[in-house]
Every structure is written in C-alpha cells, then in structure tokens.
Amino acid sequence: MSVSKYIKITYRSYFSQPASDRVIFKAIRRLKAQRILECGIGNTQRARRIIETAQLVSPDVEINYTGIDLFEARTAADGPGVSLKLAHRQLSTTGAKIKLIPGNPLSAFTRAANSLGNTDLVIISARQNPSEMSAAWFYVPRILHANSILFEEQGHLGGQIQLISVSPQEIAKRAGENNRRRAA
C-alpha cells in the first residue's frame, strides 16, 4: 500500500468528521470489507466515503455497495436526502458496483434479502422507522456471514449520533422476536 493511501485510511479512521463514522472506517480496514449495505443513505456523502475507503483498502477487488433509502418518498421528518436517480449518478462515479433499493428496510429486505447474502458490513441509520425496522430484523441474519459487522446508529442527548456494534447474539434475538410475532 502506498504511503498516500495509508495516510488517507488512517486519517479517516482516527480524525475524520463526524467522529461517529470513524468506527465504520476502522471496520472496513479490519475486515477488508467488499460487500457493504447501508439502510438510510441520506445525501450520499457518507456512502461515497465508505466506498472510497473500501477501495483504498482493497484496490484490486470490486466493491459492492447496496443502499436502502426512501429516496423520493422521504418526508421532512425523514431528514435530508436525494432522489434515486441522483444517488445512483453520484455513487456510480466511484467505480463500485452500486445497487440502490427504494423503500423502507422491511419492504427492501422482503424483496432483496436473498440476493444480499455474505454482506461484510451493515450500517443502519437512526432515521429508520422503529416499527418497520423491528419487523425487518427477521431478514437480517440471512444477509450476514460469520465475520460480518453490523452497526446501528443511535441518537443521544445533545443530538450526538453514535454507532453501536450489534452482536450476533443480539441480531439473532431481534430476528427471533420478530419470528415469534409472525407465528402468533
């Protein structure tokens, strides 16, 4: 790895803003993540940085990025975002293989969970509807592998966002809770 790439990866991992995203860049570096899924891509700024970091870490491998977002269906309460067409145009310039799925996590996972298998890194935005996300957990285990990492954004006092790593046991618990509700 060249010195400039090393410096860029190190900068993103330890000094980039917002500070909450640093754990994502560290995880990409550690996993050499090639298949990334983000629920709630907003204005695509973080998505581009994630893709670029993955490309720096694994320069000879095609990076697969999947983004799930409401796109044109966003309301003011959902926060800022871009259209599906604009998101695809912006992310395609990275050279990664881009797959954008419009809708909330539940509808997107219902349609595409089987094609998203072996995802290395999953990021779930804090702006997801809690009831829809609760039901979507049923599909999450089938998109992961043994070494996958899943981060969930959580808002804290003062408006600070923090990314929390969700353990495989917690993922299984959340998926199982939803499975019991489906059976009832």
In the structure, what pLDDT confidence band is assigned to residue 118 with cuts at 50, 70 and 90? very high
In the structure, what pLDDT confidence band is assigned to residue 179 with cuts at 50, 70 and 90? low
Q: Say yes or no to pLDDT of 123 above 60.
A: yes
Query: In angstroms, what CA-CA distances link 141 with 110, 137, 146, 149, 171?
Result: 13, 8, 10, 11, 7
One-letter amino acid at 49 equals R
Sequence ranges of the domains in the chain: 3-183
> 128-176, pLDDT tens digit by residue?
888 889 999 999 999 999 999 999 998 755 567 889 999 999 999 999 9
One-letter amino acid at 105 equals P
Any idea which fold 3-183 has? Rossmann fold (3.40.50)
> 58-110, pLDDT tens digit by residue?
999 999 999 999 999 888 877 788 999 999 999 999 999 999 999 999 999 99
- Name the residue with tokens 């999947």: 66
